[in-house]
Structure 1
Amino acid sequence: MSSSVPTLVSLLKRSHIDDHEEVLKVALKHGKTDLTAQHAKVVALLKLDRFDDAVHAFELDGLKEKARLEYAYALYKTGKAREAAEVAKQGTERGCRHVEAQASYRTEDFEQAAELYRDLAAADHEEDAEVDLRINASAVDAQLEWAGQGELVLKKKPDREDLEAFETAYNAACGSLARGDLGQGGVLLKRARDLCAGLEDLGEEERRVELVPIVVQLVYVLARQGKMAEAEALVRGVEVARIGDVNTRHIAQVNRMAASAGGNPFLAQRLLAKGNSASSTPNDQPFHFQTSIHDSNQYAVDLQTLKFAGTADATASVLAKHASRPPTQNAGYNAISIGNAAAHAKNQEPKTALPLVLPLLQRRPRDFGLVLTVVQLYVEARSLGSAIAVMEKFLEKLLSASGDAEDEAGDGEDVRFAPGLVGVMVSLYHHAGRKSDARRVLGKAGRHWLKRKRTKERRSDDDEDRKLAGEIFANLHDEDDGDAYATAGLLAASPDTATGAQRGALQPVEKVIAGIDVDSLETAGIAHPPTTSTFTTTSRKRPADDPAKPTKPKRPRPSRLPKALLEPGKLPDPERWLPLRDRSSYKPAKGKKGKGRDSKGRDMFSQGSAAAVVGGEGEGSRPVTPGAGVVVGKGGTGGGGGRKKGKR
């Protein structure tokens, strides 16, 4: 034991990247009971990328405690990220914090990873480590945005240092795409592509490998922006077969199919199945949001190839596993629910699809995706009232379950007041003209999120609502004083308490309207909003009056009242509500047209007349209401030769 330590130490001092096999041989000679030798063996195995062997080498008692960092790293490299994070958390050295942060990132615990990287960045470190920390921290920020936890991201806009390296520029672009900002995301991706292409210290093959994910992501942006020709031209330069990363290769294949106009759905289904069957390394598995998108793509292609029954069964089996779960905002689960509803609808028109989908709503009344699908079908079927009724019933069920329902945020009410759900309800009320109900929904949501320190905007003229809006925007402004939207809302809600710095943060009105031609707008006329009953997207315009053309004076509309009513003191005719022929002043026309009429000129043989009523108007009988009697059938007596025959 004493002789092995100096030998091993001197050997490790002289070792470099080419002699790890020699270190491993020397370590094996000293037996399995020597901690120093086994430690050296583990290090050599890790440097030789023999990670499975390194994990199995931790059999000696005390070795896991002595080489905690190496053990955590070996677990991480073999795909056991959760175990690696637990082991690294027990260590005290700086390397353990790095492994814990990376393992937390891999297990999608992005909040923990962001906190660890902030702590590492605050400590003293070398310049090379600072660059790596910046890259990793920006990657975590992008993943927080994709995971719907954007409020935890401290830096929304990239600074100058982020634009100096293609890795940080690429991560900043991903964060913009996750927030839905395709324009900024595309600009940052092009910046990352140019930076990577201009690097001189990278070989040709290394540069190609680094450019692939950037170009694949740029194809996605161009396709989303509708620039299909540019996306298709760009994707032709990507050699999908040469991409080593399995996950990136599959994404490149999907984006290529999306960029190809008029693609064959049957061929797309074959390519998707081939891409999904490929295996990947443990640390190369797609993240949850990527898996959800892959599944949605698969369901969409299956529906396009008319595999309705198979899609319905596949999605139903997944939904059955989560049948006992409370209502959730999880995008992956709701995408599966929408795919299940689409499979039952079988590509039918909204009015035809509704009877096929509504039975599902009875079985899953608190399913986010299903409810929103039914609401969309009702809206497209021009049945706004039914859509509102479905949403109101859904909100009532969420309210009754808010006491025991737990969503991802840990609060059942967060599901009920989800911004997207509130937005749908407000939009429906707005189109129905129910503005007071829309303000009520926004008010409840605003109070909830203000209490939860997550705030949203509302608009109203009431003093109480203005006060609440001021509190909400003040909270938003305190969290990010550089947010122009929050600053504008704060100024609009409470202009009296605004500071000079807040007013100066916004552009002056003169600069905003500098390029607007007011005269052309007045000439074009006033655009009317679409009608609420038809949900039309076109608008009617009233042309502006031409000042050069003389306008005719409008004539006053004549009164529709009879002249007798306009004379003061004269009573109206009490029989004015009766038909003309039933009035006492009515005189029938003489001649042939007067035949077959009674003394008051009424047709004695028409349906509903007094002469055609059983019993007639004899003495002592009550007056008969015209048109309400029992009609005598064909063959009644009397009548002239010109009378028409009865209906057969």
Structure 2
Amino acid sequence: MPPVQDPLLQLFAELERSASQKEDDKAIKLCDKILSLKPDDRDALHCKVITLIRLAKFQDALNVCSKKFAPGELAFEQAYCFYRTNRLSKALDLIRAAQQNENTDSRALRQLEAQVNYRLEDYPACLAIYHNLLQDMNPSDDEYNDVFSNYNAVKAALLFSGGELDAKYDPKDNMDTYELAYNSACTHIAQGDLVGAERLLETAKKLCRSSLSDEDYSEEEIERELAVIVVQLAYVYQLCGRVTEAAELYQSVLKTKVSDVTLTAVASNNLVAVHKDQELFDSAKKLKMAAGKELATKLVSHQKRMIAMNEALLSLYMHKYAVCKEMAQKLLAEYPDNDTLYLILAATSYHQSKGAKSLEALEGYARDRPTSLPIRFAVMQLQLLQSNHVAALATLDAYLAALPTKDAAARYRPALVALQVWLYEQTGQPTRAMEALETASVFWRSNGAGGASGPSPASILKQTAAFKLKNRRYAEAANDYEQLVRADPTDAQAVAGLITALSEVDPGQAEKYGSSLPEIEAVQVDADLLEKNVPGRKRGYVRKGAKSDIVLIKKPKTRKKRRPLLPKNYDPSIPPDPHRWLPKRERAQLKGKGREGVRSGKKAVGKGPQGAAVAGGGIGGTGSANIGGMKRQQSVVVEEVVDEKEKGKEIGKEKEKEKEKEKKVPASGGAGSNKKKKGKGKGTKF
């Protein structure tokens, strides 16, 4: 008789097989069977927690951990469940408490800690953890490339958020895998190097396609994997101003229907930004998709802010001013330091033709935020639209006065100095304009280049010299240009300015410097060929020669023949009526069909206001009653037959006789002879 096998061992064997084949639903049932036989089995409980996590049942896994395990046990699993349910603070506290225990897996907890810090947008802490992990790992380790890829992604996120990258973090590009090339490209975008970013993204596309093709991925799967690279490449095109190419790439990604909702949201938002105030209803659909609730935990804060601001701007474009204002005010409560939101609020009034109210609102914002350059510039723009240069100059002076003393480089930025000089000129203060230029020139001369991003002293000096030359201060302009030429004799612009200034004060010296200007290259001109080129003339004219009899003839304009308008029931087989242009009364077929007894000549039979007259009728003579008692007689009407032709001849003869009579009437006394006399007397009888 064969030995009886332990049921627990049999169930564990089945559980191991199900777990290796990722049959998670079956594995849960096997765990429950084991636990029904042995409720406190630690292996079965641990396996059940892992399987629940793989099934994304994170709360169920936490319930098992809290009921069956002591605090601190399965710290990694519990922290991961907190991380996935967006309870990030709890996850971080649990990780840091577990790191004190030497029995825990330190590397796994550190990687999870880095992920939690990334979700909390604590990029410096996250970057430090990944940097230390890479120092402890061997490049041949399986996890090394994944950790290194995340390390590069955090560097890009830190730069995008406005942070600065420490020199100890290696900024060197790595293109061993397409993930590394992609993350390096993101770092270049954050640094403003769009050319380098485009090059790395193209490399990432090639690496992605080749590596996935080697692993026998289908074309559809490759396109889905390429989508994130394509969207980032479209973003680079958009920043470079190649909006048509960017829109095409965004559309291609949206048509592939990728499963990553974050990627779809970013592509939709960026496409709305490309369209601006065009295709508004399509943009509204895309932004609704990008602002879904399921994206609240997947997008970082600056992405969510951008999408919400685009929603407000779209409402402004669609003339939904109340909605736009409400959204902007909600965003201001969350992001009070965002200057763009103040501009959106002011724009809602301006778009409703309330320029004064908009300017008043912006001036209020400027008082609350005196060092905000966007708000100050918006105020100046509205003031200049009203041709109020004095007020614009006052606004600029207030901004410069509000800047901290230590930020002198911002005060003397060339663009601000140029604007200040222009406003001084517009308000008739050339002396103050000159003072502003000289002060800026002295500052940059004494402070060198003002750092890597500051202007060179030569550029400020060149602006000063040009202003002096414009205001006819030739001697001073010549001194400034001479300094520039001494510093760089090859600067043709400075040499030309020096010659212009010296020509007014020292023409001889101007000729000396004129010899240093580069020579103009000789151009070979064929005079005969130039003479053969006839200047253009209008079509339809003939050029008149010196002794020619040819007359200028203008080609007559040809009128386009209009198509005839035919009636709907027109039949070309039936010839038209030749008398259709004549009035109906003159048409042959309608003659004699006038009113009875008038035009036709027929007598009205049995007609009249009270019927036919009867001989010997009533006393009233109307025939309506036989009051006299006479015997009613039957009336007989005899209709005379008249020949129509003969009747026509007779009518014609009568008309001729009447005309002859009129001619024979004698004149009876000058101008009044044709007047009718009142009363009795002789006159013409009619």
TM-score normalized with structure 2 length:
0.55
Tell me the residue number matched to 2:161. Answer: 147
Q: Which moved more, 1:32-41 or 1:127-136?
A: 32-41
Alignment of 1:94-173 (within 5 A): 94-125=107-138, 127-152=141-166, 157-159=171-173, 162-173=174-185
Cα 1:231–1:5 change in 2 (3 A) is same
Instruction: For 1:358, give the aligned amino acid.
Output: E
Matched, 1:362 2:388: no
RMSD: 4.7
C-alpha deviation, 1:291, in angstroms: 1.5
Tell me the residue number matched to 1:174. Answer: 186
C-alpha deviation, 1:114, in angstroms: 0.5
Partner deviation per Cα, 1:96-132 (whole Å, 9 max, x = no partner) = 1000101111111111110110111111345221101
SS at match of 1:90: helix
Matched, 1:343 2:355: no
Asked if structure 1 preserves the Cα contact closer than 8 Å seen for 2:24 and 2:55, the reply is yes
Q: Identify the match of residue 279 of structure 2 among 264, 267, 276.
A: 264
Asked if structure 2 preserves the Cα contact closer than 8 Å seen for 1:439 and 1:460, the reply is no
Instruction: For 1:86, give the aligned amino acid.
Output: D
C-alpha deviation, 1:234, in angstroms: 3.4
Q: Identify the match of residue 62 of structure 2 among 55, 76, 93.
A: 55
Tell me the residue number matched to 1:222. Answer: 237
Tell me the residue number matched to 1:386. Answer: 391
Counterparts of 2:207 and 2:245, CA distance in 1: 21
Tell me the residue number matched to 1:404. Answer: none
Tell me the residue number matched to 2:84. Answer: 77
Asked if structure 2 preserves the Cα contact closer than 8 Å seen for 1:216 and 1:235, the reply is yes
Matched, 1:280 2:294: yes
Counterparts of 1:527 and 1:290, CA distance in 2: 52
Cα 1:354–1:140 change in 2 (3 A) is farther
Counterparts of 2:412 and 2:79, CA distance in 1: 42
SS at match of 1:164: coil
Cα 1:113–1:228 change in 2 (3 A) is same
C-alpha deviation, 1:342, in angstroms: 1.4
Tell me the residue number matched to 1:319. Answer: 332
C-alpha deviation, 1:256, in angstroms: 3.7
Counterparts of 1:211 and 1:282, CA distance in 2: 24
C-alpha deviation, 1:173, in angstroms: 1.8
Asked if structure 2 preserves the Cα contact closer than 8 Å seen for 1:69 and 1:88, the reply is yes
Instruction: For 2:28, give the aligned amino acid.
Output: L
Tell me the residue number matched to 2:313. Answer: 300
Instruction: For 2:177, give the aligned amino acid.
Output: A
Matched, 1:189 2:201: yes
Instruction: For 1:132, give the aligned amino acid.
Output: D
Asked if structure 2 preserves the Cα contact closer than 8 Å seen for 1:232 and 1:259, the reply is yes
SS at match of 1:163: coil
Counterparts of 2:414 and 2:520, CA distance in 1: 44
In structure 1, list runs of 5 or more residues that go unmatched. Answer: 400-412, 443-457, 474-484, 493-517, 529-541, 550-648
Question: Which of the pair has the greater relative contact order for Cα pairs under 8 Å at 6+ separation?
Answer: 1
Matched, 1:66 2:73: yes
Partner deviation per Cα, 1:244-277 (whole Å, 9 max, x = no partner) = 111211222233445569832243224323442x
Q: Which has the larger radius of gyration?
A: 2
C-alpha deviation, 1:214, in angstroms: 1.3
Cα 1:35–1:434 change in 2 (3 A) is farther
Partner deviation per Cα, 1:406-447 (whole Å, 9 max, x = no partner) = xxxxxxx99x899799787566446557687799899xxxxx
Alignment of 1:161-560 (within 5 A): 162-199=174-211, 200-201=214-215, 203-204=217-218, 205-240=220-255, 242-259=257-274, 263-276=278-291, 278-280=292-294, 283=297, 285-320=298-333, 328=337, 333-346=338-351, 353=355, 355-362=357-364, 365-367=367-369, 368=372, 370-378=375-383, 386-387=391-392, 389-393=394-398, 428-429=419-420, 460-462=444-446, 465=447, 485=452
Instruction: For 1:105, give the aligned amino acid.
Output: Y
Asked if structure 1 preserves the Cα contact closer than 8 Å seen for 2:359 and 2:379, the reply is yes
Asked if structure 2 preserves the Cα contact closer than 8 Å seen for 1:247 and 1:280, the reply is no
Q: Which moved more, 1:50-59 or 1:336-345?
A: 50-59
Cα 1:104–1:269 change in 2 (3 A) is same
Q: Which moved more, 1:129-138 or 1:53-62?
A: 53-62
Tell me the residue number matched to 2:47. Answer: 40
Percent of residue pairs bearing the same amino acid type: 22
SS at match of 1:59: helix
Asked if structure 1 preserves the Cα contact closer than 8 Å seen for 2:332 and 2:341, the reply is yes
Counterparts of 2:437 and 2:10, CA distance in 1: 79
Partner deviation per Cα, 1:270-320 (whole Å, 9 max, x = no partner) = 4323442x342665x211111222123222222222222321233134435
Instruction: For 1:188, give the aligned amino acid.
Output: L
Cα 1:112–1:387 change in 2 (3 A) is farther
Cα 1:228–1:282 change in 2 (3 A) is closer
SS at match of 1:238: helix
TM-score normalized with structure 1 length:
0.58
Asked if structure 2 preserves the Cα contact closer than 8 Å seen for 1:64 and 1:71, the reply is no
Asked if structure 2 preserves the Cα contact closer than 8 Å seen for 1:35 and 1:60, the reply is no
Cα 1:441–1:49 change in 2 (3 A) is farther
Q: Which moved more, 1:287-296 or 1:147-156?
A: 147-156
Aligned residue pair count: 446
Counterparts of 1:222 and 1:287, CA distance in 2: 22
